[in-house]
Amino acid sequence: MRPFYCFLLLLISSSVFAAEFMPKAFKAEFDQSFKSVVRKKVVIQPGILHYQYPGNIRFEITDPEEGLVYVSNSSKTWYYRPPFIPGEPGELSVSPQGNTLVAKFFDGLKNGLKNNDFYKSRDLGEGKFELAFNAKSVKEMGIKKSILYFKGQVAVEKVNFSLIEKMDITFKDDKEVTLVFKKVNGEEKLDDQIFTFKAPENTNISTN
Protein backbone atom coordinates (compact mmCIF):
# COMPACT_ATOMS: atom_id res chain seq x y z
CA MET A 1 0.00 0.00 0.00
CA ARG A 2 1.57 3.30 -1.02
CA PRO A 3 2.11 5.83 1.80
CA PHE A 4 -0.37 8.26 0.30
CA TYR A 5 -3.14 5.70 0.90
CA CYS A 6 -2.27 5.73 4.51
CA PHE A 7 -1.89 9.14 3.92
CA LEU A 8 -3.30 11.20 2.41
CA LEU A 9 -5.47 13.30 1.90
CA LEU A 10 -6.92 17.35 4.03
CA LEU A 11 -7.38 20.84 4.62
CA ILE A 12 -9.44 23.65 5.59
CA SER A 13 -10.10 26.48 7.81
CA SER A 14 -12.49 28.90 9.33
CA SER A 15 -9.54 31.17 10.04
CA VAL A 16 -8.28 31.38 6.47
CA PHE A 17 -7.09 34.78 5.21
CA ALA A 18 -9.60 36.55 2.96
CA ALA A 19 -7.42 36.22 -0.14
CA GLU A 20 -6.16 32.68 0.61
CA PHE A 21 -7.55 29.38 -0.61
CA MET A 22 -5.97 27.34 2.19
CA PRO A 23 -4.93 27.99 5.79
CA LYS A 24 -1.25 27.87 6.68
CA ALA A 25 -1.94 24.82 8.83
CA PHE A 26 -4.88 22.56 9.69
CA LYS A 27 -6.07 19.43 11.45
CA ALA A 28 -8.73 17.33 9.74
CA GLU A 29 -10.74 14.21 10.53
CA PHE A 30 -11.66 12.11 7.50
CA ASP A 31 -12.83 8.78 6.13
CA GLN A 32 -10.54 7.33 3.47
CA SER A 33 -11.84 4.79 0.97
CA PHE A 34 -10.09 2.75 -1.73
CA LYS A 35 -10.45 -0.60 -3.46
CA SER A 36 -8.23 -3.19 -1.79
CA VAL A 37 -6.30 -5.43 -4.16
CA VAL A 38 -6.07 -8.08 -1.44
CA ARG A 39 -9.66 -7.97 -0.17
CA LYS A 40 -11.19 -7.24 -3.61
CA LYS A 41 -13.59 -4.74 -2.08
CA VAL A 42 -13.79 -1.10 -1.03
CA VAL A 43 -12.10 -0.45 2.31
CA ILE A 44 -13.11 2.53 4.48
CA GLN A 45 -10.71 3.80 7.14
CA PRO A 46 -11.15 6.76 9.53
CA GLY A 47 -8.14 8.94 10.14
CA ILE A 48 -6.64 12.25 11.22
CA LEU A 49 -4.49 14.54 9.09
CA HIS A 50 -2.21 17.36 10.23
CA TYR A 51 -0.64 19.66 7.65
CA GLN A 52 1.52 22.78 7.79
CA TYR A 53 3.00 24.69 4.87
CA PRO A 54 5.57 24.03 3.57
CA GLY A 55 6.25 20.30 3.50
CA ASN A 56 4.95 19.13 6.89
CA ILE A 57 2.36 16.36 7.10
CA ARG A 58 1.14 13.70 9.53
CA PHE A 59 -1.38 11.12 8.31
CA GLU A 60 -2.80 8.58 10.77
CA ILE A 61 -5.33 5.79 10.40
CA THR A 62 -7.24 5.65 13.70
CA ASP A 63 -9.13 2.35 13.33
CA PRO A 64 -7.70 -0.02 14.39
CA GLU A 65 -6.64 1.99 17.43
CA GLU A 66 -2.97 1.59 16.52
CA GLY A 67 -3.04 2.12 12.77
CA LEU A 68 -0.70 3.17 10.04
CA VAL A 69 1.18 6.45 10.57
CA TYR A 70 2.95 8.51 7.91
CA VAL A 71 4.92 11.57 9.00
CA SER A 72 7.12 13.89 6.95
CA ASN A 73 8.85 17.21 7.52
CA SER A 74 11.48 19.13 5.55
CA SER A 75 14.29 16.71 6.41
CA LYS A 76 12.94 13.27 7.37
CA THR A 77 10.07 10.83 6.75
CA TRP A 78 8.66 8.04 8.94
CA TYR A 79 6.28 5.28 7.84
CA TYR A 80 4.98 3.05 10.65
CA ARG A 81 3.01 -0.16 10.17
CA PRO A 82 1.56 -1.75 13.30
CA PRO A 83 1.79 -5.53 13.83
CA PHE A 84 -0.90 -7.74 12.31
CA ILE A 85 -0.86 -9.94 15.42
CA PRO A 86 -0.77 -8.38 18.92
CA GLY A 87 2.59 -8.94 20.58
CA GLU A 88 4.55 -9.07 17.35
CA PRO A 89 6.82 -6.12 16.45
CA GLY A 90 5.65 -3.24 14.33
CA GLU A 91 7.66 -2.02 11.34
CA LEU A 92 9.07 1.50 10.98
CA SER A 93 10.80 2.78 7.86
CA VAL A 94 12.83 5.99 8.28
CA SER A 95 14.08 8.03 5.34
CA PRO A 96 16.55 10.96 5.54
CA GLN A 97 14.52 12.72 2.86
CA GLY A 98 11.56 14.93 3.65
CA ASN A 99 8.99 16.99 1.72
CA THR A 100 7.57 13.83 0.15
CA LEU A 101 4.95 13.48 -2.58
CA VAL A 102 2.14 13.68 -0.02
CA ALA A 103 3.35 17.01 1.35
CA LYS A 104 4.07 18.35 -2.15
CA PHE A 105 0.47 17.59 -3.13
CA PHE A 106 -0.89 19.78 -0.36
CA ASP A 107 1.77 22.44 -0.87
CA GLY A 108 0.58 22.74 -4.47
CA LEU A 109 -3.02 23.26 -3.43
CA LYS A 110 -2.16 26.70 -2.03
CA ASN A 111 -2.60 27.85 -5.65
CA GLY A 112 -6.34 27.29 -5.31
CA LEU A 113 -8.72 26.82 -8.22
CA LYS A 114 -6.80 28.76 -10.85
CA ASN A 115 -4.37 27.42 -13.47
CA ASN A 116 -0.76 27.39 -12.27
CA ASP A 117 2.61 25.68 -12.71
CA PHE A 118 1.33 22.44 -11.11
CA TYR A 119 -2.13 21.85 -12.59
CA LYS A 120 -4.97 23.18 -14.69
CA SER A 121 -8.28 23.75 -12.94
CA ARG A 122 -11.70 23.11 -14.49
CA ASP A 123 -15.12 23.97 -13.05
CA LEU A 124 -17.33 20.88 -13.42
CA GLY A 125 -20.40 22.60 -11.97
CA GLU A 126 -22.42 21.83 -8.84
CA GLY A 127 -19.49 22.64 -6.56
CA LYS A 128 -17.01 20.27 -8.26
CA PHE A 129 -13.59 21.26 -9.59
CA GLU A 130 -11.07 19.08 -11.41
CA LEU A 131 -7.32 19.64 -10.99
CA ALA A 132 -5.37 18.02 -13.86
CA PHE A 133 -1.65 17.87 -12.99
CA ASN A 134 1.01 18.53 -15.62
CA ALA A 135 3.66 16.00 -16.68
CA LYS A 136 6.30 17.30 -14.27
CA SER A 137 3.92 17.16 -11.31
CA VAL A 138 2.76 13.66 -12.25
CA LYS A 139 6.37 12.50 -12.32
CA GLU A 140 7.19 14.09 -8.95
CA MET A 141 4.00 13.11 -7.09
CA GLY A 142 2.52 10.20 -9.01
CA ILE A 143 -0.88 11.90 -9.13
CA LYS A 144 -2.76 12.56 -12.39
CA LYS A 145 -5.78 14.44 -11.14
CA SER A 146 -7.96 15.32 -8.20
CA ILE A 147 -11.61 16.30 -8.00
CA LEU A 148 -12.62 18.57 -5.13
CA TYR A 149 -16.24 18.71 -3.94
CA PHE A 150 -17.46 21.79 -2.07
CA LYS A 151 -20.60 22.56 -0.10
CA GLY A 152 -23.20 24.49 -2.02
CA GLN A 153 -22.91 26.12 -5.43
CA VAL A 154 -20.71 29.15 -4.84
CA ALA A 155 -18.80 31.31 -7.30
CA VAL A 156 -15.25 30.08 -7.89
CA GLU A 157 -13.74 33.30 -6.51
CA LYS A 158 -15.49 32.65 -3.18
CA VAL A 159 -14.52 28.97 -2.79
CA ASN A 160 -11.98 27.99 -0.15
CA PHE A 161 -11.23 24.83 1.76
CA SER A 162 -13.53 25.70 4.61
CA LEU A 163 -16.28 24.49 2.27
CA ILE A 164 -14.73 21.18 1.21
CA GLU A 165 -16.71 17.95 1.57
CA LYS A 166 -14.77 15.35 -0.40
CA MET A 167 -11.66 14.81 -2.50
CA ASP A 168 -11.07 12.14 -5.17
CA ILE A 169 -7.42 11.45 -6.07
CA THR A 170 -6.33 9.47 -9.14
CA PHE A 171 -2.75 8.21 -9.32
CA LYS A 172 -0.77 7.77 -12.53
CA ASP A 173 -1.45 4.00 -12.39
CA ASP A 174 -5.21 4.82 -12.27
CA LYS A 175 -5.65 3.70 -8.66
CA GLU A 176 -8.07 5.94 -6.78
CA VAL A 177 -8.51 7.16 -3.21
CA THR A 178 -11.39 9.20 -1.81
CA LEU A 179 -11.22 11.36 1.30
CA VAL A 180 -14.49 12.46 2.93
CA PHE A 181 -13.93 15.24 5.45
CA LYS A 182 -15.81 15.19 8.74
CA LYS A 183 -14.15 17.92 10.77
CA VAL A 184 -11.49 20.48 9.86
CA ASN A 185 -9.80 23.10 12.00
CA GLY A 186 -7.56 25.75 10.46
CA GLU A 187 -4.55 26.95 12.47
CA GLU A 188 -1.88 29.61 12.16
CA LYS A 189 0.78 27.12 13.31
CA LEU A 190 0.96 23.57 14.69
CA ASP A 191 3.42 22.18 17.23
CA ASP A 192 6.64 21.04 15.52
CA GLN A 193 6.51 17.79 17.53
CA ILE A 194 3.48 16.71 15.51
CA PHE A 195 5.73 16.34 12.48
CA THR A 196 8.17 13.91 14.08
CA PHE A 197 7.65 10.29 15.10
CA LYS A 198 8.92 8.21 18.03
CA ALA A 199 8.91 4.46 17.50
CA PRO A 200 6.73 2.48 19.92
CA GLU A 201 8.35 -0.27 21.98
CA ASN A 202 8.80 -3.59 20.13
CA THR A 203 9.35 -2.03 16.71
CA ASN A 204 11.71 -3.12 13.93
CA ILE A 205 13.36 -0.03 12.44
CA SER A 206 14.88 0.18 8.96
CA THR A 207 16.48 3.13 7.18
CA ASN A 208 16.64 3.89 3.48
pLDDT at 156: 73
The domains of the chain, with CATH numbers, are 25-207 (2.50.20.10)
Q: Are strands 90-95 and 203-207 parallel, antiparallel or unpaired?
A: parallel
Contact 137, 143 (CB under 8 A): yes
pLDDT digits (tens, 9 = 90+) for 193-205: 999 999 999 999 9
Q: What pLDDT score was predicted for residue 165?
A: 92
Residue pair 9/33 in contact by the 8 Å Cβ criterion: no
Residue 10 and residue 49 in contact, taking contact as beta carbons nearer than 8 Å: yes
Cβ(59)–Cβ(46) below 8 Å: no
Residue 100: its pLDDT value, please?
75
Q: Is the peptide bond before 64 cis (omega within 30 degrees of 0)?
A: yes
**Which residues on adjacent β-strands are paired with residue 48?**
29, 60
The predicted pLDDT at position 154 comes to: 64
pLDDT tens digit sequence for 133-175: 999 999 888 899 999 999 876 667 778 777 889 999 999 999 9
DSSP bridge partners of 35: 42
Does the structure show a pLDDT above 70 at 52? Answer: yes
